[in-house]
Amino acid sequence: MDFSLTDEQRMLQDTVERLVADQYGFEERRGYMKHPQGFDPAIWGQMAELGLLGVPFSEEVGGFGGGAVETMLVMEAFGKGLVLEPYVASVLTAGALIADAGSDAQKSEILEALVGGELRLAFAHTEADNRYSETLVSTGAEKQGGGYALTGEKVAVLHGDSADKLVITARTAGEADDAQGLSVFLVDADAKGVTVTGYPTNDGLRAANVKLDGVQVGADALIGEEGQTAELIRLTLDRGAFAVCAEAVGAMSKACDITLEYIKQRKQFGVPIGTFQSIQHRMVEMRIALEQARSATMKAAARLQDGTADERRKAVSAAKVQVGEGGQFVAEWGVQLHGGIGMTEEYNLPHYAKRLVMIDHQFGDVDHHLNRFSAMMDMPESA
Amino acid sequence: MDIKFTAEEQAFREEVRAFLKAKLPKDLSEKIRTHRQLTKDDIIRWQKILYEQGWGAPGWPKQFGGTGWSPIQKAIFAEECALAHAPGQLPFGLSMVAPVIMAFGNDVQKERFLPRILSADDWWCQGYSEPGAGSDLASLKTRAERDGDHYIVNGQKTWTTLGQHADWMFCLVRTDPNVKKQEGISFLLIDMKTPGITVRPIQLLDGSREVNEVFLENVRVPVENLVGEENKGWTYAKFLLGHERSGIAGVGTNKAELRRLKEIASTEMKNGRPLIEDPAFRARVARLEIELEALEMTDLRVLAAVQQGTSPGPEASMLKIKGTEIRQELYNLIRQASGPQALAYQPEAIEDPEADYIGPEYALTAAPVYFNNRKITIYGGSNEIQKNIISKMILGL
Ligand SMILES: Cc1cc2nc3c(=O)[nH]c(=O)nc-3n(C[C@H](O)[C@H](O)[C@H](O)COP(=O)(O)OP(=O)(O)OC[C@H]3O[C@@H](n4cnc5c(N)ncnc54)[C@H](O)[C@@H]3O)c2cc1C
């Protein structure tokens, strides 16, 4: 067993942590949010320069060749700074999907520009009635001429309003929840028939609803094999879930630090409130929740890197449950232990609390992942 | 043991229901049902309707224009109002400062202030907390020094709910810094238009603007606005806490929100079926309903004791803890039920019921309401402080 990082990994971690420490002060972040995209394009450019946009991609397209551990390091640091940039949308979900299944032409067209910071993507899967399902897709793609016509509506597409191209899941065959017949398309955000309605989210990020009204695409818009992409979609959603788990670990650790500092310094009844045992124990429980979430996320990293699909799915679900419950615990008690100040927009802690709670609304909530885990749970032979 | 309501109480419930059906404006109940923000005018409009009915002050004795209702009647009224999605009555005048004025104020103060509270002509806010004095309220520092016929007040209050609308603030101030901290506090009524008062809004994490900082700089308050005796303010504040707590369990509101949760979970789809059919989610709703049923009985037990003349003591702390925990879990489940569409933040639509928004109506407010209601375990004596009270007063620890 060796939990230590390689030299390269440590360098990556230093790079990201420095970027966050230097550029992501709480007040600066407030300024970035005012950009119409909801983040500062200049920071996106810096991320490109530092090589961060290529972390999971192969060296051929200018990437770093990193795996899940590298992703985890980046996302944890981002979580500490509540980074606003569309890293999960562009790089870790939509980008990674193209790297996995895209044609050579798609890879060279998209990934190099993505790594260079010139192009952004978003992954459009969720629909109003599919909640967190991986395979329940109603958006349809009908064969038309040499290509397809896409019709349907995607909701809560993370950073969908700042993406140049959308990676969209659609049904080319089968019904409702069938795993067979799911396909993935690459569509220009400004193509005819695409309507993108962007909005801020409750945690200060951005998302969009994407309406597709008979959008015409060529056969070359297909990513992967027609009708055979259920596993690709599952993997992409798992990568997204894992990424926000690592982000949550960063946000939880920062929320714990802020709260610990506060209870040492805030005095009531003539003493720091951190001297009250009920507060001490709560703070201890917050730290335990953090460590449990971290451990589950590390296990998911390992399984993403070298596990079977089932092992990966189980470990990602376990992590998402730990993070969903533990993150909410840290968020709620972080606010409570602060008293009134923990309720305010002006103070940093509540922003961590909001992000931690809203993470449960992305890539499957606690119930979804509990359900998925329990279906795969090992059972004794006698049972 | 007979846990049924009497025939008279049932008849009273019918009367309240009929009144609400006839007089509760649809636009107000719709705003409450969908968790939209009420304006100052909305709150005043509803208080005036109640006032015209003679029900402006359910908690007051008849001699001051109240209803003289029994504790059980008050609970029935509160429950029916909540189930009909009536706006809450503003507590600061009606159930916070008025009981203190009735008990300790002089006749001039009673005549001057009480009728205008009842008719919603004056808007009151509560000036207790300070940046350095929250749970430890008695350590408050805002100074009031006597200068002829006036007190000169200097200091800062904070978390003042809806102080931006207020005509008056009831305020705890330090009049004697040289005695034990509880013994040098006085209870002052301050006209918010007095020169030297600055109100600065504090935005809460959900984006709402309901609390304020109130800065007081050489504010001249006529001595006639002192309630009761100088340096006895702490006694009055503690008396008030008893009043602030009747109805504290919020059973009616919790029932209304439980109903709403069930409606949402019947609309929202999960894997092609309504979410409420998901056994795991349904069990969580059931768990909450079981808790709420028990809380309702606990509340009625306390009310029945009050009706027989015992004053609600530390038991009220239990009602506050459970009532707020249940409310928070309700908003938690409503948020979770709303799924990915709860991500969108659309404050314009929350403020303006005419504005367009995307997604289902329930998802619009699901997350903001959940975040906003983290406050209920913090204010009105935090739940930690309530537990300290129970361990000391009930358990003798
Ligand atoms: C939305 C909102 C509206 C409000 N409206 C008003 C208003 O209109 N007027 C007004 O005067 N005030 C108002 N308040 C203030 C409220 O009463 C205080 O926030 C509350 O008393 C807690 O004080 P504090 O915020 O300073 O927290 P602190 O007292 O600093 O408490 C911080 C944490 O320490 C805990 N703690 C403190 N002492 C102990 C102890 N002895 N043992 C264990 N735990 C302890 C608390 O429970 C809390 O978790 C409002 C607050 C909020 C959030």
pLDDT in tens, A152-201: 999 999 999 999 999 999 999 999 889 999 999 999 999 999 999 999 99
Kindly state whether residue A1 falls inside one of the protein's structural domains.
Answer: no
Partner residue facing B341 (CB), from A155, A269, A279: A155
CB contact under 8 A, B134 and A269: no
Kindly state whether residue B104 falls inside one of the protein's structural domains.
Answer: no
Q: Write out pLDDT tens, residues B100-148.
A: 999 999 999 999 999 999 999 999 999 999 999 999 999 999 999 999 9
Residue A279 pLDDT: 98
CATH number of the domain at B312, please. 1.20.140.10
Q: Write out pLDDT tens, residues B220-269.
A: 999 999 999 999 999 999 887 766 566 889 999 999 999 999 999 999 99
Whether B82 and B35 map to the same domain: the answer is yes
CATH number of the domain at A306, please. 1.20.140.10
Whether A370 and A241 map to the same domain: the answer is yes
Could you tell me if the CB of A283 is within 6 A of ligand 1? Answer: no
Number of independent structural domains in chain A: 3
Whether A285 and A159 map to the same domain: the answer is no
Q: Which of chain A's residues have a Cβ under 8 Å away from the Cβ of B387?
A: 278
Interatomic CA distance for residues B395 and B397, integer angstroms: 5
Torsion over CA: A17, A22, A25, A28 (sign) = negative
**Burial environment of residue A49 by CB neighbours within 10 A (0 to 12, 13 to 18, 19 or more):** exposed
Whether B31 and B128 map to the same domain: the answer is no
Residue B304 pLDDT: 85
Kindly state whether residue A382 falls inside one of the protein's structural domains.
Answer: no
**Ligand 1 centroid, distance to A339 Cα (angstroms):** 5
Q: Which residue, among A118, A95, A124, A107, has the nearest Cα to A194 in the 3D structure?
A: A124
Could you tell me if the CB of B159 is within 6 A of ligand 1? Answer: yes
CB contact under 8 A, B280 and A371: yes
Q: Which of chain B's residues have a Cβ under 8 Å away from the Cβ of A201?
A: 343-345
Whether A243 and A329 map to the same domain: the answer is yes
Q: Write out pLDDT tens, residues A301-314.
A: 999 999 999 999 99
Q: Which residue, among B164, B359, B330, has the nearest Cα to B259 in the 3D structure?
A: B330
Whether A17 and A70 map to the same domain: the answer is yes
**Burial environment of residue A48 by CB neighbours within 10 A (0 to 12, 13 to 18, 19 or more):** middle
Question: Helix, strand or coil for residue B5?
Answer: coil
Atom of ligand 1 minimally distant from the CA of B161: 8
Q: Which of chain A's residues have a Cβ under 8 Å away from the Cβ of B378?
A: 335-336, 339-340, 342-343
Question: Which amino acid is present at A50?
Answer: L
Helix then strand then coil, in percent of chain A rounded to 5, is 55, 15, 30
Whether A360 and A259 map to the same domain: the answer is yes
Kindly state whether residue A383 falls inside one of the protein's structural domains.
Answer: no
> Do B157 and B199 meet the contact criterion of CB atoms below 8 Å apart?
no
Whether B81 and B132 map to the same domain: the answer is no
CB contact under 8 A, B207 and A345: yes
- Average pLDDT of each block of 10 consecutive residues along chain B (397 residues)? 89 98 97 94 98 96 95 93 96 95 97 98 98 97 98 98 98 98 97 98 97 98 98 92 72 97 97 95 98 94 83 84 97 98 96 93 97 97 95 92
Partner residue facing A336 (CB), from B158, B278, B378: B378
Cα A362 to chain center, whole Å? 7
Whether A32 and A84 map to the same domain: the answer is yes
Kindly state whether residue A273 falls inside one of the protein's structural domains.
Answer: yes
Q: Strand B197-202 to strand B211-222: parallel, antiparallel, or no bridges (unpaired)?
A: antiparallel
Choose one of B72, B89, B106: the last residue of a domain: B89
Q: Which of chain A's residues have a Cβ under 8 Å away from the Cβ of B135?
A: 268-269, 339
CB contact under 8 A, B336 and A177: no
Choose one of B197, B231, B265: the last residue of a domain: B231
Does residue B52 carry a catalytic annotation?
no
> Do A90 and A114 meet the contact criterion of CB atoms below 8 Å apart?
yes
Could you tell me if the CB of B212 is within 6 A of ligand 1? Answer: no
Q: Write out pLDDT tens, residues A320-350.
A: 999 999 999 999 999 999 999 999 999 999 9
CATH number of the domain at A15, please. 1.10.540.10
Whether B268 and B381 map to the same domain: the answer is yes
Residue B2 pLDDT: 79
> Do B319 and B302 meet the contact criterion of CB atoms below 8 Å apart?
yes
> Do B23 and B49 meet the contact criterion of CB atoms below 8 Å apart?
yes
Whether B139 and B66 map to the same domain: the answer is no
- Could you list the residue range(s) of the whole structural domain that residue A178 is in? 122-227
CATH number of the domain at B196, please. 2.40.110.10
> Do B125 and B168 meet the contact criterion of CB atoms below 8 Å apart?
yes
**Ligand 1 centroid, distance to B161 Cα (angstroms):** 13
Choose one of A227, A256, A280: the last residue of a domain: A227
Q: Which of chain B's residues have a Cβ under 8 Å away from the Cβ of A129?
A: 269, 272
Choose one of A189, A207, A227: the last residue of a domain: A227
Average pLDDT over chain A, rounded to whole? 97
Could you tell me if the CB of A266 is within 6 A of ligand 1? Answer: yes
Whether A213 and A242 map to the same domain: the answer is no
Interatomic CA distance for residues B138 and B173, integer angstroms: 10
- ∠ CA(B348), CA(B353), CA(A356), 5° rounding? 50
Kindly state whether residue B101 falls inside one of the protein's structural domains.
Answer: no
Interatomic CA distance for residues B6 and B179, integer angstroms: 52
Could you tell me if the CB of B378 is within 6 A of ligand 1? Answer: yes
Which residue in B79, B80, B244, B315 is the catalytic one? B244
- Could you list the residue range(s) of the whole structural domain that residue B140 is in? 123-231
Interface with chain A: mutation pick from B378, B388, B389, B392, highest number of A CBs within 10 Å? B378
Question: Helix, strand or coil for residue A141?
Answer: strand
Choose one of A227, A256, A272: the last residue of a domain: A227
Q: Strand B273-274 to strand B143-147: parallel, antiparallel, or no bridges (unpaired)?
A: unpaired
Sites in chain A below the pLDDT cut of 70? none
Residue A41 pLDDT: 96
Kindly state whether residue B351 falls inside one of the protein's structural domains.
Answer: yes
Residue of B nearest to A200 (CA): B345
Quick one: tokens of A41?
């394009």
> Do A22 and A15 meet the contact criterion of CB atoms below 8 Å apart?
no
CB contact under 8 A, A343 and B341: no
Could you tell me which residues are beta bridge partners of residue B191? B168
Kindly state whether residue B38 falls inside one of the protein's structural domains.
Answer: yes
Whether B303 and B341 map to the same domain: the answer is yes
Residue A38 pLDDT: 97
Q: What is the ipTM of this complex?
A: 0.97
Could you tell me if the CB of B126 is within 6 A of ligand 1? Answer: yes
